[in-house]
Structure 1
Amino acid sequence: MLHIRRKAIAVFGVVVASSALMAPPVSADPPPPGVTFTVAGVNGQGCDLQSLTVPESASEFTVRYGTYQAWGGGGSTSADWVKKCQVVLQAHIPQGFTYAVAGVTYRGYAEQATGARGLLRAWHSIEGMTPSEPLNHLETGPNVKHWSVNTEVAAADLVFKPCGEDRLLYLDSELRVDAGQPTFMAMGTTADPAALNTVRLAWKSC
């Protein structure tokens, strides 16, 4: 279990949409061999990327942060209540193939007093293309738990990188806590061995 400092803050107003747990879609084509992703940049307050792992099959990859957490309570400030992160990735794929993000599994940890709330807001996009619909995942105290939430992109809504074009992939997210009660919410950190974020990919030939 994580050992944390707790703090309390003022309420923020956010409308949270429910997110169903879904199975990942099947790729249109199998992944090509030799796919890699490299980190082109990490932007935000309090998010430090620790690992990016692409398995040989390249049907998905995983992301882990070092410390990515928001917390509230006595003595906290606005810098503690909201954390934002953007991971920028460069795909290296063989000619004749392209990819889209087919879904993401987000994992983390929450420790909250009664009535306290923590929100994950997350989305992804390929450079110059329409971003995904944002996920809003709410955790409400009292709880001490590991949490997990899946998103899936319908086959008709997959946004494929244009064939032959060199475009970046953006993974955007933010963590917020509120409710004037001790609260803590983290995502995908090295302090929680199970908390890898998994990005699933769909592939097609050009």
Structure 2
Amino acid sequence: MAALVLVAALCVTVPARAQPPSVTIQSVTFMGSGCSWSNANYYLSADYKVLTFMLGGMVATTDSGLAGKRKNCQISVGLKYSDGFSYSLATVTGRGFADIACRSTGTYQASYYVSGQTGTASASRTIAGKFTGNYEFTDKVSRVISSNCNNATNLDIDSEVRVDGKKAFMTLDSLDQKFVLQYRLNWTTC
């Protein structure tokens, strides 16, 4: 199974001209128990608004011992964009599948920081059992952290799924690309 993390850049309440004329990915690194170079892929949409990651292994289950109860993926994305712009993340949408028994929980968490900036922003959701089915939640990140103006720094993302209790299974995992972790990015002029 391959998990899909979709990082979406969406201009919000800024004029179209506020979007950078070009954005490229200069580098990407993956690290963690839920992803590796052998099971990860990424691309940037032609309009620079959507950065998509497909990650394998983002499946947490109580059936796999202590190591199987938590899966994470740390991603560092080196973005290059035109001077006069900065970005920040505003919301995180988590979609996936969970099978959580009574007195058990499943949690997904996403956090990010911009290299060279202080602070980390995060969003998370916990599903308490009994629950079986697809889930989708949209949450604002805990605080706004913007990149410096004219400074194309790395966006660093840590995604995690974990389960606790007697019987639980949770994933950001999908073969049909329906289950995603989506970051909405605000571009601003400076």
TM normalised by structure 2 equals: 0.79
| Aligned equivalent of 1:42 | 30
CA RMSD across the alignment: 2.5
Identity %: 26
Match of 1:135 among 111, 123, 127: 123
How big is each residue's C-alpha offset from its partner over 1:11-70, in whole Å with a ceiling of 9 and x where there is no partner?
xxxxxxxxxxxxx88243432232233552111113246333332332343333222111
Q: Distance in 2 between matches of 1:126 and 1:205?
A: 17
Change (3 A) 1:60 1:151: farther
Verify the 8 A CA contact 2:61 2:68 in the aligned structure 1. Answer: yes
SS at match of 1:134: strand
Structure 1 unaligned spans of 5+: 3-23
Deviation at 1:127, TM superposition (A): 0.8
Change (3 A) 1:101 1:69: same
Q: Distance in 1 between matches of 2:118 and 2:139?
A: 17
Deviation at 1:170, TM superposition (A): 0.8
Structure with the greater alpha carbon radius of gyration: 1
How big is each residue's C-alpha offset from its partner over 1:49-93, in whole Å with a ceiling of 9 and x where there is no partner?
6333332332343333222111013xx321111222211111121
Write 1 or 2 for the structure with the bigger share of strand.
Answer: 2
| Aligned equivalent of 1:196 | 180
What is the one-letter code of the residue matched to 2:45? P
1:56 aligns with 2:46: yes
Change (3 A) 1:166 1:33: closer
- Which has the higher mean CA deviation after the structures are superposed, 33-42 or 89-98? 33-42
SS at match of 2:155: strand
Structure 2 unaligned spans of 5+: 2-9
How big is each residue's C-alpha offset from its partner over 1:94-134, in whole Å with a ceiling of 9 and x where there is no partner?
23222121222122111122332111122111012234443
TM normalised by structure 1 equals: 0.74
Q: Distance in 1 between matches of 2:112 and 2:26?
A: 16
Q: Distance in 2 between matches of 1:102 and 1:140?
A: 26
Q: Distance in 2 between matches of 1:89 and 1:27?
A: 25
